[in-house]
Amino acid sequence: MRRLFELCGFRGASISRVRNTYSVAYLSQLLPLRHSAKLTLLRRLRHSRIGAVQLTMPLGNICLIAERPSN
């Protein structure tokens, strides 16, 4: 990514990871489960404290900051 931006004329490109914060209930929606099993799990998580627990983790997103030179 850095090289691509430099080839396009940007300078000072810096790349870093982004950490995302989601609830256990939201992350559970992404699980590859049968529909009925997922509905049961989500219903229980939404009515419990565990479902509201926030988890912070790197999920593959990145942040790129670069400067576009003025002409």
Model pLDDT for residues 10-51, shown as the tens digit of each residue: 988 899 999 999 999 999 999 999 999 999 999 999 999 999
Structural domain spans, the chain = 2-67
Q: Are 55 and 14 in contact (CB under 8 A)?
A: no
Is residue 66's pLDDT more than 80? yes
Two tokens, residue 65? 């900051």
Can you give the pLDDT at residue 3?
87
How far apart (Å, rounded) are the C-alpha atoms in residues 26 and 49? 13
